[in-house]
């Protein structure tokens, strides 16, 4: 068990003092929200010494550091995680009990940090936790969004986006670091001067700029005194108000600088369905990349007598997907224009310093920017990208003479676009996928030309999750049970959890495990009743799909199948059917119309089914509003069935599948992403797999031969479901409401290809998988054995393992020990 020298008495004094100082109240008068702030500051005080000691040790050892660059970090709530990792949960709980407050209630006062949305951001947060726990020097670098993506409200079944004002009461764990502020420039033009050495030197003139201000948040390692840093950048105007412009009546121009800064950090992923949204996204990406690279290079120079020639020996920039691809060009800009290196010198350093993680198979998700926008907003960066592209095309021509198809497929600048994934690949020394299947598809399909030309760059790093967040913190009942059975080594060495396998046939252990699941289902049922007003039976099967809403993730398949089951129950009231609660949680991008209509459909179906007394509650449908890390922890702990049903070949990895597995749920899924490796670990008999393989999907996409109308014509049950989309069954006031969803499945009125993601093709296989779940759940002993094996077999899927592979094969960092 983690040993701590935490002083409970001092902590109590600190909380009382903080309440008095912050609010001029006694502890008895304070509200839970006020006590939360006081507790955070008291916890931060205990972290500060470790934080300082960590960075002193890094400087003393001149330790190589990875800068993990990501548009999003889905951190969740910090307080509970920090308390666990400093080893003070018992003492703080007791101290708060003595002060008359419940720790869980205090933790619930914290808003989720609105710094991310989906799996990409949550993965980044898990990686930071693992880096600190393993003792590796690292900075996370991102943006301090004022409102995050958005808080989701469901009104009349529709998603409504409202500002997520998570910073309205401040963030007690962050520290403003004005001393590291820097300037980021946009627009203007480039002037060229010939130096005394005959070289051309470039400078940006007539630009607009903002001041980037870093806010540092502690990332606490588990029980090892290591505290790394998440550095998120805020933007402030260089000049807040231009009086000359105001006096001339140019009122908007007078506050132009202020608005530029304000807009950059307002929201995550602004709607880019219009030009202004695209421009803002590009500004955001360059803003945080430029600020992060500038400060990293400056820090390195200060420690190495101003000489940047060996930067790559002490610094790695890891680009988390294509959003930070500008790293390659920005590092080149700094080395060329500020450090006055030659192109060859700068390129040698850059290509030994930058590494790239690809997170998507879908080519449309690989970012491309119109040349007109890119060159106007980032004129010097565009010049550098053009030169990288020119030199790369010469390499292609030298290696593949006369093959213009290669140039068309591989060029960084082509067809009026700057292709950011290509820039990242060309400028990086490592390119990794995030699951074995994903990496193979990249090598053999999407990035085949690059793999053929530079195979040494490509490697796989299957994603992982931190068990400290998603079991130790999120499911304390199960965490305590695991520790009672096998000790607590699993907290920092998850493969140790395989020791549970000796208990899977023990009836008493099976009952204990299933009782914990039942208690967690009661906890979630209370949450659903409080937030949705729906009564759900914790004895029903909790069948869960929670993830970002995208067509390839096939929430539409799930809800269409719920409609199918409902029709079957209505037609055959006495059919053999174990009660199910179908639980959805998802945000759709603000401009993603079809995804938002899927949310409306889920809620419309829920409204009909949940109010139909004739089915005796055999099906309930719940859409959990504003899905986020804090309610995800409740959901993962309570799930019986984990819906991982993306079209095979489309999901890079997935990490929700791992969180459900860790918490004892059975995967119902396709052989896609990390599902393939999950099935290998747990055994095919302990998962339920359906649908086409990735090879079959790719074959249909490349050669055709699939006609969803044939299925519509031949399968009466499917036809009935699809007709209910357009006959007003679920929208009596507007029978045409779901016409676009209907069209997307059967014709090309609203999509390039009918049923793009093969929903109807996989439908009956999906139904058979559900019927198999129905049978499996009836045998509670066999079910208990399977779910226990899922928990016991998830050792591979820790982010600790993933990070160690990055360290060993890409970053080459040294472990640092911090003694206090």
Active-site residue numbers? 359, 547-548, 553, 655, 659
Angle at 437 between CA 432 and CA 441, to 5 degrees: 75
HSE-up of 355 (CA within 13 Å, CB side)?
24
To which H or E segment does residue 130 belong?
helix 119-134
Nearest to 172 by CA among 120, 222, 106, 235: 106
The CA-to-CA distance between both ends of the chain, in Å, stands at 19
Please name which of 334, 326, 341 lies closest in space to residue 297, comparing C-alpha atoms.
334
Sign, Cα dihedral of 271, 277, 278, 282: negative
Q: Measuring CA to CA, which residue among 45, 126, 114 is closest to residue 86?
A: 45
What is the Cα–Cα distance from 487 to 800, expressed in whole angstroms? 19
**C-alpha to C-alpha distance for 110 and 116, rounded to whole angstroms:** 16
Beta bridge partners of 40: none
Q: Where are the alpha helices (DSSP H) in 651-779?
A: 656-662, 675-682, 694-703, 708-714, 716-724, 739-746, 759-778
Structure tokens at 295: 């400060």
Distance CA 555, CA 317 (A): 35
DSSP run (H or E) holding 183 = strand 182-186
**Among residues 814, 813, 815, 809, which one has the least CA distance to residue 430?**
809
Q: Please, which residues have CB within 8 angstroms of residue 453's CB and are 6 or more apart in sequence?
A: 396, 399, 410
* Rounded-to-10 torsion of CA 276, 277, 283, 285: -160
**Nearest 5°: CA angle at 67, between 61 and 71?**
160
Within 8 A by CB and 6+ apart from 365, the residues are none
The alpha helices in 430-554, defined as continuous H runs, are 436-441, 448-453, 467, 476-486, 507-532
What's 188's DSSP letter? -
CA angle 150, 152, 158 (to 5 degrees): 130
- Work out the number of other CB atoms within 10 angstroms of the CB of residue 409: 15
CB-side exposure of 565: number of CA atoms within 13 Å?
29
Tokens 């990086």, residue located: 428
Residue 79 is given by DSSP the state: H
How far is the C-alpha of 297 from the C-alpha of 143, rounded, in Å? 19
Q: CA 334, CA 339: separation in Å to the nearest integer? A: 6
Backbone Cα Rg of the chain: 27
Determine the 3-state secondary structure of 208 from DSSP. Answer: strand
């Amino acid at each position: 068990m983690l040993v701590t020298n935490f002083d409970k008495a001092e902590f109590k004094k600190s909380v009382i003092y903080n309440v008095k100082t912050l609010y001029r109240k006694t502890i008895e008068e304070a509200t839970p929200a006020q006590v939360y702030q006081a507790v955070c500051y008291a916890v931060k005080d205990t972290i500060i010494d470790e934080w300082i000691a960590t960075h002193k040790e890094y400087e003393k050892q001149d330790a190589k550091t990875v800068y993990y660059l990501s548009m999003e970090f889905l951190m969740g709530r910090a307080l509970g995680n920090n308390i666990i990792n400093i080893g003070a949960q018992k003492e703080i709980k007791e101290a708060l009990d003595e002060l008359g407050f419940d720790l869980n209630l205090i933790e619930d006062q914290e808003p989720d940090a609105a710094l991310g949305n989906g799996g990409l951001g949550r993965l980044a947060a898990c990686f930071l936790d693992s880096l600190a726990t393993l003792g590796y020097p690292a900075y996370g670098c991102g943006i301090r969004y004022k409102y995050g993506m958005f808080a989701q409200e469901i009104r009349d079944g529709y998603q409504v986006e409202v500002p997520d004002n998570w910073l309205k009461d401040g963030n007690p764990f962050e520290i403003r670091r004005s001393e590291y502020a820097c300037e980021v420039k946009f627009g203007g033009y480039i002037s060229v001067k010939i130096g005394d050495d005959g070289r051309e030197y470039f400078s940006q003139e007539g630009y607009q700029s903002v001041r980037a201000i870093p806010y540092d948040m502690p990332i606490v390692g588990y029980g090892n005194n290591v505290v790394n840093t998440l550095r998120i950048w805020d933007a402030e105007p260089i000049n807040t108000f231009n009086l000359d412009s105001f006096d001339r009546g140019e009122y908007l121009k007078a506050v132009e600088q202020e608005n530029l800064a304000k807009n950059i950090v307002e929201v995550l992923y602004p709607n880019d369905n219009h030009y202004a949204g695209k421009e803002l996204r590009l500004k955001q990406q360059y803003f945080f990349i430029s600020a992060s690279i500038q400060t990293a290079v400056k820090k390195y120079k200060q420690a190495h007598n101003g000489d940047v020639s060996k930067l790559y020996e002490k610094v790695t920039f890891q680009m988390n997907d294509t959003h930070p691809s500008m790293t390659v060009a920005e590092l080149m800009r700094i080395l060329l224009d500020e450090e006055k290196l030659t192109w060859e010198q700068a390129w040698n350093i850059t290509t030994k310093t930058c590494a790239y993680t690809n997170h998507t198979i879908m080519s449309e998700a690989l970012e491309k920017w119109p040349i007109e926008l890119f060159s106007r907003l980032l004129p010097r960066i565009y010049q550098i990208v053009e030169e990288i592209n020119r030199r790369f095309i010469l390499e292609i021509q030298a290696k593949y003479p006369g093959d213009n198809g290669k140039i068309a497929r591989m060029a960084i600048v082509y067809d009026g676009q700057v292709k950011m994934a290509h820039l990242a690949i060309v400028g990086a020394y490592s390119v990794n996928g995030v699951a074995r299947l994903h990496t193979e598809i990249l090598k053999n399909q999407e990035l085949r030309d690059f793999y053929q030309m530079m195979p040494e760059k490509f490697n796989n790093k299957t994603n992982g999750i931190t068990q400290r967040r998603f079991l130790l913190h999120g499911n304390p009942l199960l965490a305590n049970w695991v520790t009672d059975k096998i000790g607590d080594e699993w907290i920092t060495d998850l493969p140790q959890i395989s020791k549970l396998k000796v208990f899977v046939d023990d009836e008493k252990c099976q009952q204990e495990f299933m009782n914990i699941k039942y208690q967690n289902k009661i906890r979630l049922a209370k949450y659903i009743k409080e937030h949705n007003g729906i009564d759900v039976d914790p004895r029903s099967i909790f069948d869960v799909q929670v993830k970002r809403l995208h067509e390839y993730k096939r929430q539409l398949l799930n809800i269409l199948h719920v409609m199918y089951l409902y029709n079957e129950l209505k037609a055959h009231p006495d059919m053999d059917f174990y009660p199910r609660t179908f639980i959805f949680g998802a945000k759709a991008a603000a401009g993603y119309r079809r995804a938002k209509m899927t949310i409306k459909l889920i809620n419309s179906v829920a409204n009909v089914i949940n109010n139909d007394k004739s089915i005796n509650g055999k099906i309930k449908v719940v859409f959990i509003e504003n899905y986020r890390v804090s309610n995800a922890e409740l959901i993962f702990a309570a799930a019986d069935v984990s819906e991982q049903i993306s079209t095979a070949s489309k999901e890079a990895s997935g990490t929700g599948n791992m969180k459900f597995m860790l918490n004892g749920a059975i995967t119902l899924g396709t052989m896609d992403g990390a599902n393939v490796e999950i099935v290998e670990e747990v055994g095919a008999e302990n998962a339920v797999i359906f649908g086409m393989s990735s090879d079959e999907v790719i074959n249909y996409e490349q050669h055709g031969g699939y006609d969803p109308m044939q299925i519509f014509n031949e399968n009466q049950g499917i036809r009935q479901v699809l007709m209910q989309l357009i006959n007003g069954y679920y929208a009596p006031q507007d029978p045409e409401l779901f016409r676009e969803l209907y069209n997307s499945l059967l014709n090309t009125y609203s999509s390039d290809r009918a049923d793009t993601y093969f929903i109807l093709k996989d439908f009956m296989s999906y139904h058979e998988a559900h019927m198999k779940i129905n049978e499996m759940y009836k045998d509670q002993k066999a079910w208990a054995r399977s779910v226990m094996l899922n928990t016991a077999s998830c050792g591979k899927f820790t982010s600790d393992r993933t990070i160690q592979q990055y360290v060993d094969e890409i970053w080459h960092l040294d472990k640092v020990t911090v003694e206090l």
